[in-house]
Amino acid sequence: MNAEFVNPFIGGLLNVLETMAQTTLTPGKPKKKSDDVAHGDVSGLIGMVGPNVKGSMSITFDEGLILSIMQNMLGEASSEIDAEVADMVGEITNMICGNAKRDLAEKGYEFGMATPVVVSGKQHSISHQVDGPKIILPFNHELGKAYLEICFDK
């Protein structure tokens, strides 16, 4: 997969969490992913379709990390992944994709964004519904990991 597609999503994730949640993540090594099993506890998934590109992106968080992000972003403490946490994950997914959409539009790739879907639970599935390679990028934080998955038909 082309770094031109991947980098706007990485930048979007880091920017959204640093500015909105005062949370800094350290990127790990990207690799191909062949299954649909999520590595964390709660995921936001969003589809993108345009005249010259079709893809999807998901962001998955470990429970400890997303609860800290909830506290930092909204000033509300939660002891578990509940409906409010799920709503926030959907918003984070939307913001990351929106940042990437803006950056990719500058490179000539236009697409519309679907409404994010949020799934949670141990070993939940993320189905990208796109016929293309999947890349997973781990991000580290002292309270847990986040995993960015990107899948494009390019």
pLDDT of residue 1: 60
Q: What are 91-121's pLDDT values in tens digits?
A: 999 999 999 999 999 988 889 999 999 999 9
The reply to whether 131 falls in a domain is no
The reply to whether 98 falls in a domain is yes
Lowest mean pLDDT, pick from 3-7, 67-71, 121-125 = 3-7
Q: What is the pTM of this model?
A: 0.94
The reply to whether 52 falls in a domain is yes
The reply to whether 122 falls in a domain is yes
Q: Tokens representing 39?
A: 């590595």
Number of folded domains that form the chain: 1
Q: What are 20-55's pLDDT values in tens digits?
A: 999 999 999 999 999 999 999 999 999 999 887 889
